[in-house]
């Protein structure tokens, strides 16, 4: 066999300058790719409602406590309006050192902005009624509570003498308190 008589092609021989130019070009491409990122996703994700009930931390309760602060003494959660997301029902009263301060029952829902405070959407029991709450439950979308009260202002605040069962149900965009049996003396 005879050696081939091909011409000497200068561009087929690699030199260190070729490798250096290739490495620099690759580094430039990688660096440019690091700076050129796609925009953040902005489409809203339609998904199932949240199953985590809102907490009470950060909620603003319209309870006038003078020097004391409002205290959440009971809370329960459940889907009250049938939207698939739970609400929280909280019994709140002033953190008094003695006596039996009146209770309020509030309904809280999710905040409007991520990381925001839960929103108060309803007052089921106004503290002006001067009642206390002993039992609180949510079952089948209904809120039930046992309320203790007083027949007259002469009854000491330590010793309620009236007990009643209360029930609220979401209907037509509001909570309706269902008719209950007459209050019982204790």
Average pLDDT over the chain, rounded to an integer: 82
Establish if 171 belongs to a structural domain: yes
Question: Domain total for the chain?
Answer: 1
Establish if 54 belongs to a structural domain: no
Establish if 98 belongs to a structural domain: yes
Per DSSP, the three-state class of 73 is: strand
Rounded Cα distance, 113 and 92, in Å: 24
Rounded Cα distance, 16 and 131, in Å: 90
pLDDT of residue 185: 60
Residue 153, C-beta contacts closer than 8 angstroms, at least 6 positions apart: none
More confident residue, 13 or 100: 100
Establish if 166 belongs to a structural domain: yes
Establish if 156 belongs to a structural domain: yes
Summarize pLDDT for 108-142 with one digit per residue, the tens: 999 888 888 999 999 999 999 999 999 999 999 99
Summarize pLDDT for 28-46 with one digit per residue, the tens: 777 666 666 655 444 333 4
Establish if 34 belongs to a structural domain: no
Contact 169, 141 (CB under 8 A): yes
pLDDT of residue 156: 85
Instruction: Quickly state the pLDDT bin for 72 (edges 50, 70, 90).
Output: very high
Tokens of 180: 């209950």
Instruction: Quickly state the pLDDT bin for 49 (edges 50, 70, 90).
Output: low
pLDDT of residue 116: 87
pLDDT of residue 42: 41
Residue range(s) defining the domain that contains residue 151: 70-185
Establish if 23 belongs to a structural domain: no
Contact 125, 107 (CB under 8 A): no
Establish if 5 belongs to a structural domain: no
């Amino acid at each position: 066999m005879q050696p081939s008589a091909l011409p000497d092609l200068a561009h087929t021989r690699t030199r260190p300058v070729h490798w250096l130019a290739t490495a620099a070009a690759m580094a430039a491409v990688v660096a440019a790719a690091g700076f050129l990122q796609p925009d953040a996703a902005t489409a809203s994700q339609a998904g199932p409602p949240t199953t985590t009930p809102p907490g009470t931390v950060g909620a603003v309760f319209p309870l006038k406590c003078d020097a004391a602060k409002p205290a959440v003494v009971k809370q329960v959660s459940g889907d009250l309006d049938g939207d698939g997301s739970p609400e929280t029902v909280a019994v709140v009263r002033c953190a008094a050192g003695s006596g039996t301060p009146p209770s309020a029952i509030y309904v809280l829902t999710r905040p409007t902005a991520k990381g925001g405070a839960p929103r108060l959407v309803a007052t089921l029991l106004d503290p002006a009624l001067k009642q206390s709450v002993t039992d609180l439950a949510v079952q089948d979308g209904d809120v039930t509570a046992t309320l203790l009260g007083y027949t007259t202002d002469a009854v000491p605040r330590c010793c309620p003498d009236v007990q009643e069962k209360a029930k609220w149900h979401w209907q037509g965009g509001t909570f309706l308190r269902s008719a209950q049996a007459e209050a019982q003396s204790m």
